[in-house]
Structure 1
Amino acid sequence: VFYASLVFPSRSLAAALMKFDPEDGEQIVEYFNTHVLLSREKALLQASVRDQKKLLVENGKLKNDIQQLRVQLQDKQRRRTGLNFYIPQDAQRHYALLAPAPPPVGASAAVPTNPPPSSSHDRRDRQNRRRRGERKVKKGAPHCFSLSARPNSGALSLEAEPCIDPSRLDLRVGRILSIRRHRLAETMSVQEVDVGESTPRTVVKVHISLSMQLQGRLAVLLCNVKACQLRGVVSQARLLCCYSSNDCSELLIPPAGSNPGDRVTFLNYPGEPDKELQAKQRVWELLQPDLQVDSRGVATFKGCGFEVKGKGLCRAPSLTNCIIR
């Protein structure tokens, strides 16, 4: 209440301050107003940080709940699959042919009944069905019909749905040690990049400037892609670049103070990266359309910035509103 009264002082309070100190009364009121505004901004910032941490905790709990529910659903589907056995139609026909017909009501079981004559076509058909039934018996257990479970596509599709988010990308800061032209391709260049490991990684990049100004520069690399051979040179990582609509390209640069090997993370997507991205899951292909540079030049994934913890955000040198790949 005291601070609020200083922000909007009454005439009596202002007059009292002026009377108390005619020379510095206005400066005292201005000082208190500034102090109150700073206190309010600090309180709002702390509240936003608390809300953000709360949301992260709730997000983690929801992920754990979803994982538990997914495991329970898979267990139920497996149990249901184990119960849903059926006898194939060919085996049912064969069993029906082998089973004796029930005697009519009131008739004696000892008196045999003559079966109706059958044509040669029916006999051949019956023999073929018996042969198919005998093959079923040979493939399965002895003296019983083979049972096969009904396919359950729901369980397979559920197991084939991994979580796709940028925390699975192993993004690291690297320093370009050398750059040279590919000996077999004029549009490719070969870089040796230090990513904080014992030996530098070789990176083959298409359509990147061969300017010596890139030597010694810091860049952002995707390090858990599968190594591939491009025109006889093995590429062990991917350099992330920004591309505009008019085919201009720039290296994505980490914040000042970054060191080779620093991890690039996303605040809204905690987690550890994959050891190696599997080609069948197409993680990079699914995430890449949402990797963009916003209007401020900050690299983002769905609005969440590329961050080196304690050092800042990754940016494009001059491009804005462009894609990252």
Structure 2
Amino acid sequence: MAAAAADFAASKRAMAYALCKHLSLDPNTISSTSIEESDIATLFSHIVKSSEDEVLKWVGFSSNFVGKCGEQHVLLGNLNQDLSQKSVLLGNGFKPSVADIVVFATIQVFVSHLGENELQKYPHVLRWMDYIQHPKKADKGDTDPSSKKVVSGQKNVGKSDANVDSKKAAPENKAPENKANPTPAKNNKPSGDKKKAQEKSAGKPNEGVADKAPQKTAEKDSECDVSILNIQVGLIRKAWKHPSADSLLVEEIDLGDGNVRQVVSGLAKFFSPEELVNRHVVLITNVKPGKLRDVMSAGLVLCASNQDHTVVEPLIPPEGAKPGERISFAGFDGKPEDVLNPKKKQLDKITPDLHTDGNGIATYRGVPFTTSAGPCRSSVPNASIK
């Protein structure tokens, strides 16, 4: 019962944050007390002002899913059948609706606990869940056959638009085609008003740019969430003591496909090098490489720790997660930055929202760290993650 209650709470938190992300709302306006004390329907109506029957039908589905223990497999079977002929729950296209967000957040934790044999019973649900997290996959036409025409139409429209844009983007001083004299013009010097305009703009190269820069910077800073991190599964192949720091260990971590990183971690007080060898871990791989006490480090192993920092443990990916696989978060599907900028202190803004829940599941704002094999965990519940 306690585990079910914890899963229900995690589902509600995931739903609230995913809906806020989908609707471009500030999740901080929804208090944790409101999330904990509300049921699915009440929490949904608090965030989304909708009375559409089709939307409310799926909200009711989500309420039944978390409220009727023992019937989840029946409900999943119904959902699988419903998704067999479409890409998303509502609408005729590929764009996920609020109904998709609610149902995804509700079933994700339950599905993450299923074994491989059970998962095979719900192929359409799995395909849909993968698409909700990675919507660009629809461009490959891997949905139902009827959707291929839509994709083809979208591609043709894209080509048409590209042709129009390319014409608009053609340089102004390009000589027009002279049908009477097909020899291209060799001297395309601007003249008259056009020349004066170019000289004027050349004298003020940054005019108009400075006014836009602060706004773009502010927008970019406001979008600092976990999606900018490249968090991956890794396998520690070797580990040894740091040559000049008793509290540090050095690990050689395999990220698959021949990609091996050297990472320095502050784990010497909690683990011996031998205990870490052949252990799967979760690490941030787009931090800026640098030296820690003269030893190069190119990653950050994420660990859960209790309040007084007496217990520290690397996060544990589920069995079956492959080295190199990127961790995903429902509702946070942005592209990771190539390398984080230390000056922006992006990690400092994100790590306060990284925690394990009462069951030890690693989460960001209540949304689980998810792999193809399920969520990442720790034996330390209600812990901070850094």
Scaled by the length of structure 2, what TM-score is found? 0.47
Give matches, 1:116-265, under 5 Å: 155-161=212-218, 162=220, 163-208=223-268, 209-247=271-309, 248-265=311-328
Question: Residue in 2 aligned with 1:321?
Answer: 382
Alpha carbons of structure 1 residues 305 and 234: separation in structure 2 relative to 1, 3 Å: same
Higher relative contact order, chain-length normalized (CA < 8 Å, sep 6+): 2
Farther-moved stretch of structure 1 (257-266 vs 39-48)? 39-48
State how far apart, in whole Å, the 2-side matches of 1:206 and 1:307 are: 25
Point out the structure with the larger helix share: 2
SS of match in other structure, 2:344: coil
Report the CA distance between 1:50 and its aligned residue.
Answer: 3.6
* Match of residue 279, structure 1, among 342, 358, 365: 342
Unaligned runs of 5+ in 2: 1-69, 103-131, 133-202
Question: Residue in 1 aligned with 2:97?
Answer: 54
Partner amino acid, structure 2, of 1:280: K
Alpha carbons of structure 1 residues 37 and 246: separation in structure 2 relative to 1, 3 Å: closer
Q: Count how many residue pairs are aligned between Structure 1 and Structure 2.
A: 203
Report the CA distance between 1:210 and its aligned residue.
Answer: 1.7
Alpha carbons of structure 1 residues 294 and 47: separation in structure 2 relative to 1, 3 Å: farther
SS of match in other structure, 2:343: coil
Report the CA distance between 1:270 and its aligned residue.
Answer: 0.9
Flag as ranges the 4+ runs of structure 1 deviating above 6 A: 35-38, 44-49, 56-60, 149-154
**CA deviation map 1:293-317 (0-9, x unaligned):** 01111100111110013x100001x
Point out the structure with the larger strand share: 1
Give matches, 1:82-121, under 5 Å: none
**CA deviation map 1:181-211 (0-9, x unaligned):** 1111111111111012424111011134224
| 2:359 counterpart of 1:296 | yes
State how far apart, in whole Å, the 1-side matches of 2:212 and 2:72 are: 58
Question: Residue in 1 aligned with 2:370?
Answer: 307
SS of match in other structure, 1:280: helix
State how far apart, in whole Å, the 2-side matches of 1:184 and 1:199 are: 26
Is residue 56–residue 268 contact of structure 1 (8 Å, CA) maintained in 2? no
**CA deviation map 1:138-163 (0-9, x unaligned):** xxxxxxxx99x999987443121212
Partner amino acid, structure 2, of 1:230: L
Instruction: Calculate percent identity across the aligned residue pairs.
Output: 30
Question: Residue in 2 aligned with 1:269?
Answer: 332
SS of match in other structure, 1:158: helix
